[in-house]
Structure 1
Amino acid sequence: MLDIIYEDEAIMVCYKAAGVPTQTAKIGQMDMVSLAANYRKNKGEDTYVGLVQRLDQPVEGLMVLGKTKEATAALSEQVRERRVVKEYFAAVYGEAKEEETLTDYLIRDGRKNISRVGKEGEKDAKRSCLEYRKVAQVNDKSLVRVKLKTGRHHQIRVQLAHAGLPIVGDRKYGNANGEYMPLGLCSCYVEFSHPTHGERLSFSVKPRGKAFEVFDF
C-alpha cells in the first residue's frame, strides 16, 4: 500500500518503508514506482510516475515523485543545482560530537555496489561532504541529523562509518557481527520549490524503524 504524505496535480510525496526498492527490474517484486503507478491507475489517472531521487532499498523515509514529465524535469533540475534540501536521521554506534562537518573523497565500485574513502586526486575519487548534529545519546548509540552537501553513492553510510560512527544495522559498512535489524537511516526532511507555481514546500517524517526505538521521538 502506498503511504502518501502529500499529493497534488504535479507531485506526490510518499513514505518508503525500509526494504522496499525505489525501482526494480525483478519480476513480481513491488517497488515505489510500481506502487505509485498502480495507485494512479486505480484512480483512473495517467499512470506516469517520474523518479526524482532514489533511496537505497534498506533506507526508509520521504520520496518525491513527479506526476508529469514537466514536473519531473523541473524537480530533477533542482536536484542537479543543489536547490533541494535533504536531511536524514541516522542511528549510529559511538558517541558523536555535538556537530561536525565531514569531507572525504569517495570512490565507487559499481561492480560490487560499494563505495570507499579514497584520497584527494585519486582516480575516480569524488569530493563528498555532509554535516551532522547530535540529537540524542542513549548508552553506546547516538542519534544524529545529517544534512547532505553532496549526493554520492552510499555517502552517509560510508562517511559515518569512516568517522567511527557506523550506522546501526549496516552490515555492509558497519559491524557485520552487530545487531541484526533494518538499517537505522531515515530520509526525514525534504524541501524544494513546487515545479508548477514555485512555492517553497517542506515535508518531514519521524523514523519508524527498530533501530530508532531507543530514542524518544
Structure 2
Amino acid sequence: MAKYQTPKDKHSLYFKVKDPILLLPFLLEVMPNRGRNSVKSILKRGQVTVDDHIETKHDYRLHPGQTIAILKNKAAAKENILVGMTILYEDQDLIVIHKEAGLLSIATLKEKKMTAYHQLIEHVRREHPQNKIFVVHRLDKDTSGVMMFAKNERTKQALQRSWRESVKKRTYVALVEGKVSTKNGYISSWLKETSTHLMYSSPTNNGGQHAITHYKVLQSNQHFSLLEVQLETGRKNQIRVHMQDLGHPVVGDKKYGSKHNPIRRLGLHAKTLSFIHPTKGKQLTFEAEVPKTFWKVSKKIEDASKKIFTNPIMKQFIILL
C-alpha cells in the first residue's frame, strides 16, 4: 500500500504577525519594494495565505502570532506552481491534491478561474490541449485537505460507480465548539435540503438521504474539541450538520450554529483519503497534515491548582505553612 503526505512549500516567503494590523498594510510593510496596486494584485490572485487559509480581502484583520505566507511572483508564474493547492499524486488516470481552505473546488457564478478545477485543466493541457479533468467529489471552499480528480471519463465513472467499495478510508478532522464528553460515538440521521440550500437533519426517514458519521475525540478543553471523523456515507454538509446535531457545531460554521471562530476559518480538514486505484488495483493512501491552529486551539489547558502543586517553590511554601 503506497502512502503519500503533504509536501512542504519551498516557493513562499513567510512572516510572523507581531501586532494587530490589517492585511494590506502588513503586506506593504513586509514588501516595501512593491506598490499598492502590485500588492493588491498578489492578494487577488490568491498568493497570500494566513495561517492555513487563502485570504484575498485587503481589510482582513491580522492578530499577533499568525503566520503569513506569500507565494513568490516568479514561482507563481512558473507552469508547475499552483495557487492554493499542491499535487500529491498524478498518473494517466487521476490527480490527487491538497487543497487549502479558501480555494473553490469548482467554479461559481462569481468565480470561474480561481478554482482547483480550472487550475488543473490548465495543468493537464500543457501536456496536450485536448486533455480534460473530471470532478469525482468535492470539498467546500473553506474546507482544506485531500481531494481527487479524474483525468478521463472512464476513471470518473469507475470511481463514482464503486465509491463506497473503492474508498477504504476517508478521515476528516473537525474542530468543534465545547467539550465533547463522549470519547467516541456516531450520529445517524436523514438529511434533506431546503429551497435555500440549507441541509436539515431528521432522526427518522424524512424522504432525504440516510447519513452516518463516526467520531472520536483526539483532544479537548472546556471551550473546543478536536475530533477525528469517519464518514460511512458522503452527503452534502454531512459533518457540519451532524456536529450541530451533536450539540458541538464546527468552529466558524455560522450556517450550522457556530458562534465562535478563533481560527478565522472553517474548522474542517480532510486528513486522509485511501482508495483502490480503479485501473491499477492497488490501494493508495494520501494524507494532508492537520492545521497547527486546530491543535493549538483545542489543546488541553492544565488546571491552575495542578500547576501550584507541581511547582517546587510553591511546594516548599505550602509545607512551611
| Shorter-chain TM-score above 0.5 | yes
Shift of 1:41: 2.0
Q: Going by fraction, where is strand more abundant, 1 or 2?
A: 1
Q: Mapping of 1:92-171 within 5 angstroms?
A: 92-96=176-180, 97-109=182-194, 111-122=195-206, 124-171=207-254
Partner amino acid, structure 2, of 1:87: T
Q: Residue 15 of structure 1 aligns to a residue in which SS? A: strand
CA contact (8 A) 2:188 2:203 kept: no
Residue from 112, 116, 123 that aligns with 1:32: 116
User: Alpha carbon RMSD of aligned pairs, Å?
Assistant: 2.0
Q: Residue 118 of structure 2 aligns to a residue in which SS? A: helix
Q: Residue 240 of structure 2 aligns to a residue in which SS? A: helix
Within 1, Cα distance between the matches of 2:193 and 2:112? Answer: 29
Aligned-residue sequence identity (percent) comes to 26
Q: Going by fraction, where is helix more abundant, 1 or 2?
A: 2
Question: How big is each residue's C-alpha offset from its partner over 1:113-167, in whole Å with a ceiling of 9 and x where there is no partner?
Answer: 2111124133x23321110111111341111110111111111001111111111
Within 2, Cα distance between the matches of 1:16 and 1:206? Answer: 11
Partner amino acid, structure 1, of 2:151: K
Match of 1:179 in 2: 261
Residue from 152, 155, 172 that aligns with 1:88: 172
Residue from 35, 49, 56 that aligns with 2:140: 56
Give 1 or 2 for the bigger CA radius of gyration: 2
Match of 2:11 in 1: none
Residue from 76, 87, 108 that aligns with 2:160: 76
Partner amino acid, structure 2, of 1:51: V
Q: Residues 195 and 82 (structure 1 numbering): CA distance in 2 closer, same or farther, change over 3 Å?
A: closer
Within 2, Cα distance between the matches of 1:126 and 1:159? Answer: 13
Within 1, Cα distance between the matches of 2:239 and 2:165? Answer: 17
CA contact (8 A) 1:105 1:119 kept: yes
More contact order relative to length (CA 8 Å, sep ≥ 6): 1
Number of aligned residues: 212
Shift of 1:100: 0.5
- State TM-score, norm by structure 1: 0.89
Within 2, Cα distance between the matches of 1:92 and 1:82? Answer: 29
Gapped runs of 5+ residues in structure 1?
Answer: none
- State TM-score, norm by structure 2: 0.61
Within 2, Cα distance between the matches of 1:173 and 1:208? Answer: 22
Shift of 1:74: 1.4
Within 2, Cα distance between the matches of 1:35 and 1:20? Answer: 11
